Amino acid sequence: MSEDRGTLSELEAGMAPILGAFRPVLRIEDGSGRLSLAGTAFLVRDANRVFAITAKHVLEGPEHKLLGINENGSVTWPRKYSALAPSANDLPDADVAWAMLERSEDILSAGTAIPFGLAASAIDITPGASYLAVGQPASRARMVNAHQTLASDVMVAFLEPATGETNSIIGVDARVQFAFTYPADSRDRISRGESVPAKANGMSGGAIVVTGRVKRESQPSIMVPLVAGVLTHYYPKYFTFVATKIEHIWATLGYGGQAANPLYSRTTVQAGA
């Protein structure tokens, strides 16, 4: 994959096949039964298995959590799910959680899960690629239909790798995390075709996506999106997103030989405990 940012239209075309994988995580407010946006999750498909991945703090708290599948309904987030636990005291809290979802036509339909091959590899941060934060901002959430289902548009924010000074101030651990700056005056591409400003609140649990150009023999080259990390924090003072590198999930599961010396282990979390 070459270090070529591509044009805006090329980036949008390259991102289009995976945008349906980003879904809102909803909480049911105690007492009222109303829904509010807790954050974002995204779906990754490996053969017949579907992983729903998010930031761990999105799932914390006593409220019942749902995963929005489409504008007509949601599924209950499993009461038992997995999270990353550090294997040494000097490692940061990865703040990442995931669950295995049962097969359903909605979940496994075309365009609603990212193929594992697009999220499987460790990715180096280089100055030539395009970096995007993808998630469900709370500022774009809305109630729809008679059942009061909550839906939210996907935001794609264009980022730049954070400077060494910013990384140091925030305390980014390069073994586990990376950071990207998000200009306050940036106009963000929304999946409904608009280009509007949207606040970063609600993006936790979304993804850092890296796009680069892939050349094809006797055919036009294409921009391919690769999921590099899980969004865990946004620091408004520095206009900076921090993400945990996604390969740490796969290392705990023994994928691709990445488990030789894993920095994290997989632990089971009981919702509401």
- Which pLDDT tens digit goes with each residue over 112-166? 789 998 998 788 877 667 888 998 887 666 665 544 556 667 888 888 899 999 9
Give me the residue label for tokens 């796009």.
Answer: 211
249 or 258: which leads in pLDDT: 249
Quote the CA–CA distance of 121 and 124 in Å, as a whole number: 10
Range in 25-39, 94-108, 138-152, 190-204 the model is least confident about: 138-152
The reported pLDDT for the residue numbered 2 is: 43
The reported pLDDT for the residue numbered 146 is: 46
| Residues 242-267, mean pLDDT to the nearest whole number | 84
The per-residue pLDDT of the chain, averaged, comes to 80
Contact residues for 201 (Cβ-Cβ < 8 A; gap 6+): 137, 138, 139, 234
Tell me the three-class secondary structure of the chain, residue by residue: CECCCCCHHHHHHHHHHHHHHEEEEEEECCCCCCEEEEEEEEEEEECCEEEEEEEHHHHCCCCEEEEEEECCEEEECCCEEEEEEECCCCCCCCCEEEEEECCCHHHHCCCCCEEHHHCCCCCCCCCCCEEEEEECCHHHEEEECCCCEEEECCEEEEEEECCHHHHHHHCCCCCCEEEEECCCCCCEEECCCCEECCCCCCCCCCEEEEEEEEEECCEEEEEEEEEEEEEEEEECCCCEEEEEECHHHHHHCCHHHCCCCCCEEEEEEECCC
Quote the CA–CA distance of 78 and 100 in Å, as a whole number: 8
Answer whether 16's CB lies under 8 Å from 110's CB: no
Range in 13-22, 95-104, 191-200, 248-257 the model is least confident about: 191-200
Q: pTM for this one?
A: 0.88
Please state whether 59 falls in left (phi above 0), alpha (psi between -120 and 50) or beta.
Answer: alpha
Q: How many CB atoms lie within 10 A of CB 20?
A: 18
CB burial of 94-113 (b: ≥16 within 10 Å; e: otherwise) equals bbbbbbebeeeeebeeeebb
